[in-house]
Amino acid sequence: MDTIKIIIAGPRGRMGREAVDLVMNTEHFELTAVLDHKNDGMMLSDVQGFQGVTNVPVYTDIEKCLQNTEADVLIDLTTPEAGPYHVRTALNYNVRPVVGTTGFTKEELQEFEETCKEKELGCIIAPNFAIGAVLMMKFSQMAAKYFQDVEIIEMHHDRKLDAPSGTAVKTAEMISAVREAKKQGHPNEKETIEGARGADYNGMHIHSVRLPGLIAHQQVMFGSDGQTITIRHDSYNRASFMSGVKVAVETVMKQNTFVYGLENILD
């Protein structure tokens, strides 16, 4: 297999550190640079925690990074504020983005899809890289054909910036594709404290929990007369996401279109 040259944006984050380990320990992956909001001009080996990673420069400016670095793929694990700019710039330099950052707007996703079509370039944005989470979403879509009433509870660490999570939104979108919009609960129900019923997505409710000690967890609860079904996925560490990142990097090299959601590239 040909070597895939990779830039990682956000290497010092929890996910970024796992991604650095993945690339360094995958024979046909090569880490050519990292993009960070500080440490510009340093080598990654000079940054605390990366002493064993040699010959990898650190950039703060993505344009400068792409101008000076040979790369096939940009793995972006940054923030909702930086992510869209990174995707646009990477595509402009014909580098294929693999993105775990969440919080993109529908307009941004549509923009990326049009750019990929125009440039015939692959791009994968995945709200969740854990294979088990993708299966949870698929199983939820299957169940929604038979259970019209559903609520989503997503639980994450208290450092997460966006709510609801990208996984919860993607799950709601997949359920809505097979479920007619329906307002759930009593027609005259009233929130005595605003937000008690969570976010409303086509009549189903999404609840976001943020607590220290959590990583990434989601349960989708369905109810009908006399029965309920709960589909749940838990990530207990960030290494759980790396199998999906590896599949996405390998797959994006063979693509010339935009993909939103890991479920679209899994058999």
Q: Which residues are catalytic, by number?
A: 156, 160
User: What type of residue sits at position 54?
Assistant: T
169 alpha-carbon distance from chain centroid: 11
Are the beta carbons of 121 and 99 closer than 8 angstroms? Answer: no
140 bridge partner residues: none
What is the Cα–Cα distance from 159 to 210, expressed in whole angstroms?
A: 8
3-state helix vs strand vs coil in the chain, percent to 5: 35, 25, 40
Structure tokens given for 150: 């559903």
3-state secondary structure of 201: strand
Structure tokens given for 17: 């550190």
What is the Cα–Cα distance from 267 to 265, expressed in whole angstroms?
A: 7
Question: Residue 212: is the preceding peptide bond cis (ω within 30°)?
Answer: no
